[in-house]
Amino acid sequence: MYLSLFLVAFLAATLLPAQSEVLVISAQQMGYNVWWIWFFASLGNTLGSVVNYVLGRFLLHYQDRRWFPFKGKSLARGHWWFERYGKWSLLLAWAPFIGDALTFIAGMLRLTFWQFLVIVAISKAGRYALLLGLLNFLA
């Protein structure tokens, strides 16, 4: 289960459509260890965002290709957030639609990798902690 959780969370943070929250909730409901759920979901989701960072850093010159993952509108929105709030906009890396673009733009703008990694890890782990905490509270 933990490997599946890691993989789904990883894919959810990349450009592929996936929802890790459903599996996180299911794992918690099935009685799996909450700390391990949090750890593997956070790790997978953070590493998935690293993929976006690398794509932004090294593959931007392919943005006019059909297969390129981000469209102009998504990039423009993420760029606006990044210009306005700087590296702290990465605290929204967990957010649907804009989060992936923000992590891509961080790579594109060559944000220091370690700053990127720490802020995104806080964002991703915080989201899962909040979700699991809410589930425990409601249970």
The answer to whether 46 touches 6, Cβ cutoff 8 Å, is: no
Virtual CA dihedral for 28, 95, 12, 61, nearest 10 degrees?
-160
User: What's the distance, Cα to Cα, between the start and end of the chain in Å?
Assistant: 21
Provide the residue range defining the domain that includes 114: 2-138
pTM comes to 0.86
As a whole number of angstroms, the distance between CA 92 and CA 80 comes to 13
Residue of 37 and 17 predicted with greater confidence: 37
As a whole number of angstroms, the distance between CA 111 and CA 92 comes to 16
Per-residue confidence (pLDDT) for residue 69, from 0 to 100: 67
The answer to whether 80 touches 9, Cβ cutoff 8 Å, is: no
In whole numbers, what is the pLDDT of the chain averaged over residues? 88
The fraction of the chain above a pLDDT of 70, given in percent, is: 96
- Structural domain count, the chain: 1
